[in-house]
Structure 1
């Protein structure tokens, strides 16, 4: 039901096919898992099909070893009229142990769309805890920074 579940955790087993030339999990595989979790979170919150509008601030903190269990946790940290900012943390560890270490974190912005592919309204998320209020404020600050960066990037894309 839309507007009820604001977070989800997906789990994957890092397979040999996810390996890069250095023997660790390829960043592209991690980014795919992030996109899948962001979609599942946004679709669950909005009750609509969602598309990725932005993925940024991705920070690879530690490598993931092949054979690790990987947990991608996603949660809504801000809602606009049709968009949702999803905060994501990726943790990994030996599947035989319960400890997981942070490997990656980022923010993804998803937009809910209707049957014709047009943006559609999403339920508003209102933070209630201090931590959630800080997350929302951080998302707003990052939104302002992206606007400034976007304006600067215009000089690079126009001839």
Structure 2
């Protein structure tokens, strides 16, 4: 049996069609790249088709320019029965200098599903290093915070 893939990096160049009216890469384009990396990471871990259940805590730290080399790093930091919490970090640089800078980071929760769209059981991930344990604990804390936020957001769904 092949060991599940816990992390991956997508690399590409930011293109002119990705630019917003301000001349920088559009936040929506960055969010699309994040979703693509989260899918590839979760599919690699679960060996299943996966759907996005949640994206949150997205922080746009610095702009991305057309022609920048963009790297979207994704890694599993928590697993449930069918869900995976994926930590994502987007870095960019001028490909001539390779001085990478953080541009965006967030958490995405993906769920493995079967052909009918029903959740399926996935391999469990256990943290080993101290960094892994800290990220795992943070994912658990964030789950509790999302429950509180969901309750507060009820006012907008009525």
Q: Which band: TM-score by shorter chain?
A: over 0.9
Partners of 2:98 and 2:4 lie apart in 1 by 28
Mapped contact 2:4–2:47 kept (Cα < 8 A)? no
Note closer, same or farther for the CA distance 1:2–1:22 as it changes in structure 2 (3 Å cut): farther
- Give TM-score, length-normalised by structure 2: 0.97
- Superposed CA deviations along residues 22-51 of structure 1, whole A, max 9, x for unmatched, are 000000000000000000000000000000
Mapped contact 1:15–1:66 kept (Cα < 8 A)? yes
Paired residue for 1:30? 30
Three-state SS of the structure 1 residue aligned to 2:54 is: strand
Partners of 2:156 and 2:38 lie apart in 1 by 29
Give the drift of 1:12.
1.7
Partners of 1:2 and 1:113 lie apart in 2 by 20
Three-state SS of the structure 2 residue aligned to 1:99 is: coil
Paired residue for 1:143? 143
Stretches of structure 2 that go unaligned for 5 or more consecutive residues are: none
Partners of 2:61 and 2:3 lie apart in 1 by 31
Partners of 1:63 and 1:6 lie apart in 2 by 28
Three-state SS of the structure 2 residue aligned to 1:108 is: strand
Note closer, same or farther for the CA distance 1:37–1:83 as it changes in structure 2 (3 Å cut): same
Give the drift of 1:153.
0.7
Three-state SS of the structure 1 residue aligned to 2:146 is: helix
Say how many residue pairs are matched. Answer: 158
Give the drift of 1:133.
0.2
- Give TM-score, length-normalised by structure 1: 0.97
Superposed CA RMSD in Å reads 1.0
Give the drift of 1:4.
2.3
Mapped contact 1:2–1:45 kept (Cα < 8 A)? no
Paired residue for 2:122? 122
1:101 and 2:94 are equivalent in the alignment: no
- Over 3 Å off, 4+ runs: none
Paired residue for 1:75? 75
Three-state SS of the structure 1 residue aligned to 2:123 is: coil
